Amino acid sequence: MNTASTYDKQITLAITGASGAPYALGLLKALVANNVQIFVLISSAAQVVLKTESDIAIPSHPDKAQQFLQQMFSAKDGQIQVFGKENWFSPVASGSAAPKHMIVCPCSTGTLSAIATGASDNLIERGADVVLKERGQLILVTREMPLSSIHLENMLKLSQMGATIMPASPGFYHHPTCIDDLVDFVVARILDHLGQAHNLVSRWGYGGD
């Protein structure tokens, strides 16, 4: 198995049950292409949404899910590592070993609330808690609309803690012609914040006419 030194960066990607499965898949594809090692955490609700929105049935067992994703994205052996929601021995669960970058994409409002209150009832919540306490980079790709006052309060609270709240709100100035173009816009903005190179969309002012 390839070691961490084989990769340019380590990133944790948590996928929760909010609508927006294509964003998670697009991000995972881009990170694999950029030689990033990804620690993947998938909630039970996310598995349902992935099947519903993208017709992708990810196995429930972490080892089988890992093999499935590695084959799907032609990743190196060990480049994608999947951990179960109660695997407290995962590197993600400890400040001494967790990647300094974590994205929750898409981020459900339930997960948003749990992270904002410091709950650590599963590995996704614990992973986010670790990144916050270690002053790492936490990006929460929310999608819910409209937003209640509770949602807004949780977003403000997390923003003040240092997290980046990044609603999945694609722009249209790149003249999208299909759903993939809209997905690419959101994925591109996430990659920008991670310092990852891409050519998914034209940048404002550099796109042409």
Is 208 annotated as belonging to a binding site? Answer: no
Is 43 annotated as belonging to a binding site? Answer: yes
Is 60 annotated as belonging to a binding site? Answer: no
Provide the CA 108 distance to its chain's centre, in angstroms. 12
Is 189 annotated as belonging to a binding site? Answer: yes
What one-character DSSP code corresponds to residue 4? G
Is 17 annotated as belonging to a binding site? Answer: yes
Q: Greatest CA span in the chain, whole angstroms?
A: 53
Strand partners, 82: 40
Is 206 annotated as belonging to a binding site? Answer: no
Locate the DSSP E strands across the chain: 9-15, 36-42, 80-83, 101-107, 137-142, 164-165
Is 128 annotated as belonging to a binding site? Answer: no
Is 108 annotated as belonging to a binding site? Answer: yes
Nearest alpha carbon to residue 127 among 166, 161, 87? 87
CA atoms within 13 A on the CB side of 88: 3
193 contacts 166 by C-beta, under 8 angstroms: yes
Is 143 annotated as belonging to a binding site? Answer: yes
Is 136 annotated as belonging to a binding site? Answer: no
| Residues in the annotated binding site for FMN | 17-19, 43, 108-111, 143
Residues in the annotated binding site: 17-19, 43, 108-111, 143, 173, 189
Residues that constitute the known binding site for dimethylallyl phosphate: 173, 189
